[in-house]
Amino acid sequence: MKTQDLDFGYTSAHARKNADAVLPDIQCWPNQYKRDYNIKIELPEFTSVCPKTGLPDFGVITIEYIPNELCLELKSLKYYLLEYRDMGIFMENIANKILDDVVKACHPKCAKVTGTFTPRGGLRSVIVASYDEKEGYGK
Protein backbone atom coordinates (compact mmCIF):
# COMPACT_ATOMS: atom_id res chain seq x y z
CA MET A 1 0.00 0.00 0.00
CA LYS A 2 1.31 3.44 -0.94
CA THR A 3 1.21 6.30 1.54
CA GLN A 4 -1.10 8.37 -0.69
CA ASP A 5 -3.62 5.49 -0.61
CA LEU A 6 -4.00 5.59 3.18
CA ASP A 7 -7.29 6.84 4.56
CA PHE A 8 -6.70 8.66 7.83
CA GLY A 9 -10.43 9.14 8.42
CA TYR A 10 -10.52 12.94 8.52
CA THR A 11 -13.74 14.47 7.25
CA SER A 12 -14.83 17.98 6.35
CA ALA A 13 -16.76 17.94 9.64
CA HIS A 14 -13.46 17.43 11.48
CA ALA A 15 -11.87 20.23 9.47
CA ARG A 16 -14.67 22.76 10.18
CA LYS A 17 -15.33 21.77 13.80
CA ASN A 18 -15.53 24.91 15.95
CA ALA A 19 -14.05 27.13 13.23
CA ASP A 20 -17.20 29.26 13.60
CA ALA A 21 -17.60 28.92 17.38
CA VAL A 22 -18.93 32.01 19.13
CA LEU A 23 -16.49 33.02 21.85
CA PRO A 24 -16.51 35.85 24.41
CA ASP A 25 -15.98 39.32 22.98
CA ILE A 26 -12.51 40.76 23.14
CA GLN A 27 -12.76 44.19 24.76
CA CYS A 28 -10.73 47.19 23.66
CA TRP A 29 -9.67 50.59 24.92
CA PRO A 30 -8.88 53.82 23.01
CA ASN A 31 -5.40 54.08 21.50
CA GLN A 32 -3.66 57.19 22.86
CA TYR A 33 -1.13 57.58 20.05
CA LYS A 34 -1.63 58.49 16.41
CA ARG A 35 1.78 57.23 15.29
CA ASP A 36 2.24 53.62 14.23
CA TYR A 37 3.71 51.26 16.80
CA ASN A 38 3.74 47.49 17.18
CA ILE A 39 2.06 45.52 19.93
CA LYS A 40 3.11 41.91 20.45
CA ILE A 41 1.20 39.63 22.81
CA GLU A 42 2.35 36.10 23.56
CA LEU A 43 0.48 33.28 25.24
CA PRO A 44 3.21 30.67 25.86
CA GLU A 45 0.90 28.03 27.35
CA PHE A 46 -1.92 27.77 24.81
CA THR A 47 -3.94 24.54 24.80
CA SER A 48 -6.74 23.13 22.70
CA VAL A 49 -7.94 19.67 21.67
CA CYS A 50 -7.61 17.78 18.39
CA PRO A 51 -11.18 17.41 17.05
CA LYS A 52 -10.50 13.91 15.72
CA THR A 53 -8.43 12.24 18.44
CA GLY A 54 -9.51 14.26 21.47
CA LEU A 55 -5.84 14.56 22.46
CA PRO A 56 -4.52 17.90 23.75
CA ASP A 57 -2.54 20.26 21.57
CA PHE A 58 -0.02 22.65 23.14
CA GLY A 59 1.57 25.71 21.65
CA VAL A 60 2.48 29.36 21.74
CA ILE A 61 0.08 31.92 20.30
CA THR A 62 1.61 35.25 19.27
CA ILE A 63 -0.60 38.18 18.29
CA GLU A 64 1.12 41.13 16.64
CA TYR A 65 -0.69 44.22 15.45
CA ILE A 66 -0.45 47.92 14.72
CA PRO A 67 -3.42 49.57 16.44
CA ASN A 68 -5.70 51.98 14.72
CA GLU A 69 -8.21 53.63 17.07
CA LEU A 70 -8.37 50.75 19.58
CA CYS A 71 -6.03 48.47 21.53
CA LEU A 72 -6.85 44.99 22.80
CA GLU A 73 -7.68 44.76 26.50
CA LEU A 74 -5.56 41.92 27.91
CA LYS A 75 -7.88 40.50 30.57
CA SER A 76 -10.71 39.93 28.10
CA LEU A 77 -8.20 38.55 25.57
CA LYS A 78 -6.97 36.06 28.17
CA TYR A 79 -10.54 34.90 28.90
CA TYR A 80 -11.17 34.65 25.16
CA LEU A 81 -8.07 32.49 24.63
CA LEU A 82 -8.94 30.25 27.60
CA GLU A 83 -12.11 29.21 25.76
CA TYR A 84 -9.95 27.16 23.39
CA ARG A 85 -8.69 24.99 26.26
CA ASP A 86 -11.32 22.25 25.90
CA MET A 87 -12.37 23.06 22.34
CA GLY A 88 -11.87 20.55 19.55
CA ILE A 89 -10.37 22.62 16.72
CA PHE A 90 -7.57 22.21 14.19
CA MET A 91 -4.43 24.30 14.60
CA GLU A 92 -4.96 26.00 11.25
CA ASN A 93 -8.44 27.12 12.32
CA ILE A 94 -7.11 28.44 15.64
CA ALA A 95 -4.73 30.97 14.06
CA ASN A 96 -7.31 32.10 11.49
CA LYS A 97 -10.17 32.36 13.99
CA ILE A 98 -8.10 34.35 16.48
CA LEU A 99 -7.07 36.69 13.66
CA ASP A 100 -10.71 37.14 12.57
CA ASP A 101 -11.79 37.92 16.13
CA VAL A 102 -8.88 40.34 16.77
CA VAL A 103 -9.66 42.22 13.54
CA LYS A 104 -13.36 42.31 14.43
CA ALA A 105 -12.60 43.65 17.93
CA CYS A 106 -10.05 46.39 17.30
CA HIS A 107 -9.90 47.03 13.51
CA PRO A 108 -6.09 47.26 13.44
CA LYS A 109 -4.02 48.70 10.63
CA CYS A 110 -2.47 45.26 10.28
CA ALA A 111 -2.31 42.10 12.36
CA LYS A 112 -0.63 38.72 12.39
CA VAL A 113 -1.39 35.66 14.49
CA THR A 114 1.23 32.93 14.73
CA GLY A 115 0.51 29.57 16.31
CA THR A 116 3.64 27.54 17.03
CA PHE A 117 2.50 24.12 18.15
CA THR A 118 4.45 21.47 20.04
CA PRO A 119 5.74 18.74 17.76
CA ARG A 120 3.44 15.78 17.26
CA GLY A 121 5.14 12.73 15.84
CA GLY A 122 8.26 14.80 15.22
CA LEU A 123 6.44 17.46 13.16
CA ARG A 124 6.16 21.03 14.45
CA SER A 125 3.32 23.06 12.96
CA VAL A 126 3.67 26.83 12.64
CA ILE A 127 0.55 28.54 11.36
CA VAL A 128 0.68 32.23 10.37
CA ALA A 129 -2.45 34.19 9.48
CA SER A 130 -2.23 37.87 8.53
CA TYR A 131 -4.40 40.89 7.80
CA ASP A 132 -3.75 44.35 6.39
CA GLU A 133 -6.53 46.98 6.34
CA LYS A 134 -5.56 48.07 2.81
CA GLU A 135 -5.14 44.59 1.34
CA GLY A 136 -7.47 42.48 3.51
CA TYR A 137 -6.48 38.98 4.55
CA GLY A 138 -3.51 36.97 3.41
CA LYS A 139 -1.02 39.82 2.97
- The chain-wide mean pLDDT, for the chain, equals 90
In the annotation, is 28 catalytic?
Answer: no
Listed residue (43, 59, 123, 130) closest to 91, CA to CA: 59
Q: pLDDT tens digit string along 66-124?
A: 999 999 999 999 999 999 999 999 999 999 999 999 999 999 999 999 999 998 778 89
Q: What is the CA radius of gyration of the chain?
A: 16
On the question of pLDDT at 5 being above 60, the answer is: no
- Strand 56-66 and strand 110-120: the pairing is antiparallel
- Residue spans per domain, the chain: 38-137
Q: Could you tell me the fold of the domain covering 38-137? A: GTP Cyclohydrolase I, domain 2 (3.30.1130)
Catalytic residue among 25, 36, 50, 71: 50
Active site residue 57: yes
Q: Which of 7, 25, 36, 57 is catalytic?
A: 57
Give 19 or 93, the one with higher predicted confidence: 93
52-76: average pLDDT: 95
